Structure 1
Amino acid sequence: AFSRCCSSWGGSPRTEQKLNKSIFPSLPTRRRRRRHGRRRPLPTSLAVTAAGAPQSSAKKKPAPKRFIHTPIPASILNDPTLAAAATSLLPAAYNFELHKTAHRIRSSGARRAALQLPEGLLLFSLPLSHLLGPFLAEDPSNDVLILADPTYGACCLGDRPAKALAADLLVHYGHSCLVPVTSSLLPVLYVFV
């Protein structure tokens, strides 16, 4: 209250602080924050010693930890049947990430893989199942399942029907609301077509 009064008659901020301190000694003093011209200390790499030579003992930052993904093996990338069939059976406008899906099926050792596609992409489900079938673990009882349940908006994850059909891996094509992989009933691979 008193500081408003002082500022209204044109007193300087230092005068206000002195008056406030003399009248109200228990109030904490407030420092004015400088907005411009604030001096910052030099980084250690630019600091100069007393002799005038720059310091050479600057601390180096540790390299950031990066995620290193497992590269897709050349046997899958250079598979002629997969590349030729992908260009002839599937439209070029869509990226079904066949190499990534085939690698995930093979590396997980899945015996049954369930494909979940939205209604607009269901017509490509049979070519996809024929292309991905050879990458399953070798056993005549292994299958690529196609979940033809309606997925409105392509974002509903069909992990319960896939688990009921004893699938080992669910490949979800289309956009998704990204249900966390840890909360689903079986491993999920999201392919954003």
Structure 2
Amino acid sequence: MSDERAPRADARRNRARVLEVAAEVFATEGLSVPVHEIARRAGVGTGTVSRHFPTKEDLLIAIMSTRLVKLTAEADELARHEDPATAFFALFTSLVRAGAADCGLAELAGTDRRLDAIGERAGADLCGRLHELLAAAQKSGDVRADVGYADIRALMSACMARKEDPLEPILAVVTDGLRKRS
């Protein structure tokens, strides 16, 4: 019986190692790193990666789904406990910080646009939450009405692309510019 469990334990360890390495590589180097390089760094063969994740997209979804679920839960908490403007700006800032620290997430949130699809597959509609919080903050009169959701996504992408520390000055300029003027 222990002989039957050993391969499954090895398979679980290999899967966990691949996920760990891929998450680190995507975060630091972006999504263009090939699967064979992830396998090499994880100390497994490419076939091992393919058995667990038939496509690179499957590997990406496994990694990003967890992040998107957490960020969506954060958005839900903000919406429940904060006024619309505070919730919107807190989520905007949180997403920018997350993307600035994770090249892969920044790519998905930027021009790639797979963030929406991955979120849907994970049951985490982060983009929908951001859109809802923007609309609520605009309705409350705290965010400029002439700013659309596409503008918010573009501003987030631009902020995420800024890798220099500190990130705070650019966030302050952008969020100040989004506020409705009296």
Question: What TM-score results when the alignment is normalised by the length of structure 2?
Answer: 0.25
* Larger radius of gyration between Structure 1 and Structure 2: 1
- Structure of greater relative contact order (alpha carbons < 8 Å, 6+ residues apart): 2
Higher strand share: 1
